[in-house]
């Protein structure tokens, strides 16, 4: 929180100095109006702008530096917006094509935010340095041309020019400090948790309240809310899943049932500590793998099991419940039941017309389906799992 407060204070100071520059500019125009009573404010402002452009045209290197400074400033502003979007996890406001492109380079919002923050810092520092040089160069030129009189409508009294240039330089120092503050605070995760995390917490709390009718499920949900699973190292399969950012909604809407089942299957094994990219690298050991979808009144249940034809044995592995884009996992403990009714395999609790396993969810947490898309969709191993998983027989509650 301290980093956020410092950043906001720096931003406020920069805006205050921008206001001071406007005040000093208006004072310069007022001085000209007093010296040239036949002119008006609009003409004087136009003459001042034209004079500044003339200075740049008569000094080509200075003009080139100005263009480069403008380009770097645009990059810095874009990077600032990008940093804020990644920090607040507002992926939905980014066009789908751009989000898809970014997803190819960044697995997590943190990595994306840090990259954007350092681009902001680099471009802001360069732009500020060039602008500082430009201010000093223009000051030197105007000092040489200054006659100490208000003869020309574009003239700025020296005392006002010194105040304006000093204000600009202080503003540049604050911009550089602010850009570095954003980059370092992002790199060391000093800003408050993003909106996405807050939304997840609220969603978990709501789910806990909704299931209070069942004592066992209520206890499990209470554990989910009060004792959330700790964050894992993002270099581990589970940690990478926890840290993954949301894929664009447009991508999620295009997925087939087989795509969803594949992503859920890979996420489950990530929770078990397996690398989803290497699943079935050594084949299936003579077993067939199936998924079964139970509609469940808008909260579909995906049941996964394997069957070994040589021994005619079945192993029910787990069931995943999809609720409003969140996926909860429940173990079936490799039950050998071949029943088409889920209630014969595991105890169920019904709430508001939808069923869920009575057991506590695995890892005491849910994962957003769009996280699974970002991490595994069309990545290494996805095609292999997609090919092996088969749509099984119809199942009911």
Question: For residue 374, is pLDDT > 70?
Answer: yes
Q: Which residues contact 364 (CB under 8 A, 6 or more apart)?
A: 223, 224, 227, 228, 229
Residue of 364, 6, 50, 2 whose CA lies nearest to 204: 364
pLDDT at residue number 146: 72
| Number of folded domains that form the chain | 2
Instruction: Tell me: do 151 and 246 sit in the same domain.
Output: no
Does one domain contain both 254 and 178? no
pLDDT of residue 136: 94
- In angstroms, rounded to a whole number, what is the distance separating the alpha carbons of residues 48 and 52? 6
Mean pLDDT value of segment 293-298: 92
If asked whether residues 172 and 263 sit together in one domain, one would say no
Stretch 74-88: mean pLDDT: 88
Instruction: Look at 72-81, 205-214, 281-290 and tell me which has the smallest mean pLDDT.
Output: 205-214
Domain residue limits at 28: 2-192
Based on the fold, state whether residues 57 and 178 are members of the same structural domain.
yes
CA angle 318, 320, 323 (to 5 degrees): 165
288-294 β-sheet, strand order: 367-368, 326-335, 313-323, 301-308, 288-294, 389-391
> How much of the chain exceeds pLDDT 70, in percent?
82
Residue 193, Cα to own-chain centre: how many angstroms? 11
Tokens of 78: 């874009």
Instruction: Decide which of 166, 192, 218 is a domain's last residue.
Output: 192
Residue 158 has what pLDDT? 84
Looking at residue 323, the DSSP 8-state letter turns out to be E
The Cα 247–Cα 233 span in angstroms is 21
Task: State whether 58 and 145 are in the same domain.
Answer: yes
- In the structure, what pLDDT confidence band is assigned to residue 167 with cuts at 50, 70 and 90? very high
Contact call for residues 348 and 358 (beta carbons, < 8 A): yes
In a domain, 14, yes or no: yes
Tell me the Cα Rg of the chain.
31
C-alpha to C-alpha distances, 92 to 86, 89, 102, 247, 248, nearest whole angstrom: 11, 8, 13, 9, 6
Segment 80-86 mean pLDDT:
86
Instruction: Tell whether 157 and 57 lie within a shared domain.
Output: yes
**8-state DSSP, 244:** B
Residues 355 and 396 sit within 8 Å (Cβ to Cβ): no
- Residue 96 belongs to some domain of the structure: yes
| DSSP state string for 131-162 | HHHHHHHHHHHHHHH--SS--STT---HHHHH
pLDDT above 50: residue 218: no
DSSP tag of 229: P
Same structural domain, 14 and 162? yes
pLDDT at 204: 36
pLDDT of residue 151: 59
Pairing of strands 313-323, 326-335: antiparallel
Q: Name the token pair of 160.
A: 């006002």
Q: What is the pLDDT of residue 224?
A: 41
- The set of residues, in sequence order, having a beta carbon less than 8 Å from that of 6 and lying 6+ positions away, is 181
Q: Region 303-328: what's the mean pLDDT?
A: 93
* CA-based end-to-end distance of the chain: 48
Q: Rounded distance, CA 278 to CA 259, Å?
A: 17
Higher-confidence residue: 270 or 62?
62
62, 165: one domain: yes
Do 186 and 238 fall into the same domain? no
Distance from CA of residue 393 to its chain's centroid?
Answer: 40
Give the pLDDT confidence score for residue 33 in this predicted structure: 80
Q: How confident is the model at residue 72, as a pLDDT?
A: 97
Angle, alpha carbons 97-100-102 (nearest 5°): 110
Is residue 301 in some structural domain? yes
Using CA of residue 136, residue 139, residue 144, residue 145, what is the dihedral sign? positive
- Mean predicted confidence (pLDDT) in 213-222: 37
Residue 261 located in a structural domain: yes
DSSP code string of 68-82? HHHHHHHHHHHHHHH
pLDDT at 87: 78
Tell me which long-range contacts 60-63 makes (C-beta under 8 A, separation of at least 24).
62/134, 62/137, 62/138
Domain end marker among 171, 192, 213? 192
More reliable by pLDDT, 208 or 351: 351
* Chain centroid to CA 126: 25
**Residue 344 included in any domain:** yes
Residue 52 C-beta-side C-alpha neighbours within 13 Å: 11
362: left (phi over 0), alpha (psi -120 to 50) or beta: beta
Which residues, listed in sequence order, are joined to residue 318 by a DSSP beta bridge? 304, 331
Q: Helix 60-88 and helix 158-187: axis angle, to 10°?
A: 40
Same domain for 310 and 240: yes
236 and 188 assigned to the same domain: no
Lowest mean pLDDT, pick from 59-68, 142-151, 177-186: 142-151
Is the pLDDT assigned to residue 198 strictly greater than 70? no
Cβ–Cβ under 8 Å, residues 191 and 3: yes
Q: pLDDT tens digit string along 118-157?
A: 999 999 999 999 999 999 999 888 888 776 665 566 678 8
255 and 345, same structural domain? yes
């Amino acid at each position: 929180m301290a980093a956020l407060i410092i950043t906001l204070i720096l931003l406020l100071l920069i805006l205050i100095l921008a206001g001071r520059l406007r005040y000093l500019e208006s004072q310069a125009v007022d001085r000209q109006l007093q010296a040239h009573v036949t002119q008006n404010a609009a003409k004087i402002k136009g003459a001042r702008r034209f004079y500044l452009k003339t200075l740049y045209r008569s000094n080509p290197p200075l003009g080139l530096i100005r263009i480069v400074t403008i380009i770097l400033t645009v990059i810095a502003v874009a990077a600032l917006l990008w940093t804020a979007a990644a920090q607040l996890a507002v992926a939905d406001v980014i066009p789908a094509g751009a989000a898809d492109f970014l997803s190819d380079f960044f697995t997590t919002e943190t990595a994306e935010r840090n990259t954007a923050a350092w681009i902001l810092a680099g471009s802001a520092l360069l732009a500020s340095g060039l602008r500082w040089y430009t201010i000093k160069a223009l000051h030197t030129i105007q000092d040489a041309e200054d006659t100490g009189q208000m003869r020309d409508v574009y003239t700025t009294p020296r005392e006002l020019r010194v105040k304006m240039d000093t204000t600009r330089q202080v503003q540049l120092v604050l911009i550089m400090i602010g850009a570095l503050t954003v980059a370092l605070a992002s790199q060391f995760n000093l800003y408050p948790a993003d909106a996405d995390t807050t939304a997840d917490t609220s969603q978990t709390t709501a789910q806990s309240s909704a299931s209070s009718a069942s004592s066992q499920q209520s206890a499990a949900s209470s554990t989910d809310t009060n004792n959330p699973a700790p964050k894992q190292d993002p270099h581990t399969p589970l940690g990478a899943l926890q840290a993954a950012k949301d894929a664009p909604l447009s991508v999620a809407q295009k997925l087939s049932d087989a795509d969803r089942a594949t992503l859920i299957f890979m996420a489950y094994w990530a929770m078990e500590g397996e690398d989803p990219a290497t699943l079935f690298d050594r084949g299936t050991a003579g077993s067939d793998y199936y998924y079964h979808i139970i509609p469940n009144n808008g909260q579909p249940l995906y049941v996964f099991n394997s069957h070994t034809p040589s021994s005619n044995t079945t192993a029910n592995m787990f069931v995943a419940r999809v609720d409003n884009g969140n996926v909860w996992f429940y173990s079936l403990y490799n039950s050998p039941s071949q029943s088409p009714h889920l209630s014969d395999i595991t105890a169920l609790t019904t709430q508001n017309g939808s069923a869920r396993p009575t057991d506590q969810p695995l890892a005491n947490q849910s994962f957003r389906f769009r996280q699974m898309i970002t991490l595994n969709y069309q990545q290494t191993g996805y095609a292999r799992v997609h090919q092996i998983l088969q749509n099984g027989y119809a199942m009911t509650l």
